[in-house]
């Protein structure tokens, strides 16, 4: 993953292969009426991957955030969720505690937590548990 990220960031791989099914779409015309195209309203995404040359040149990479930045954003979102009902707690301290428990080199993950899991995590983080 780190190698592909480096290739994307350097611009060596700057287009994308995207595999999907069109769940809902409408056939439409360009403003001049010259061409008919399919306007996608809902898709089912099967796969996506960076490639050197994509089948559609409109699939270029627009920007790249570094992994540390993304991880920082996710930590901030989690901290805000944990502290949501507890404004008296210190956000800086919470972020420091969360960062101290991270595995070095781990990639960020999107995780959905239930309110009960958020509360359990909040208690553990505030008590300094792993």
pTM for this prediction: 0.39
pLDDT digits (tens, 9 = 90+) for 12-57: 777 878 888 889 999 999 889 888 988 888 888 888 787 887 777 7
* Cβ atoms of 125 and 94 closer than 8 Å: yes
- CA neighbor of 37 nearest in space, from 49, 45, 29: 29
Q: What is the pLDDT of residues 71-120, one digit of tens each?
A: 566 666 666 666 666 655 555 665 666 565 554 445 545 455 566 766 66
Contacts of residue 104, Cβ cutoff 8 Å, sequence gap at least 6: none
């Amino acid at each position: 993953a780190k190698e592909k990220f480096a290739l994307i960031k350097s611009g060596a791989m700057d287009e994308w292969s995207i595999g999907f099914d069109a769940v809902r779409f409408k056939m439409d015309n360009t403003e001049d009426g010259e061409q008919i195209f399919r306007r996608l309203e809902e898709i089912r995404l099967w796969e996506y991957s960076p490639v050197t040359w994509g089948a559609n040149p409109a699939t270029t990479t627009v920007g790249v955030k570094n992994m540390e930045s993304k991880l920082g954003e996710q930590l901030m979102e989690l901290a805000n969720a944990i502290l949501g009902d507890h404004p008296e707690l210190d956000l800086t301290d919470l972020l420091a505690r969360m960062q101290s428990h991270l595995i070095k080199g781990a990639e960020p993950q999107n995780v959905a937590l239930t309110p009960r899991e958020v509360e359990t995590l909040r208690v553990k983080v505030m008590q300094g548990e792993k």
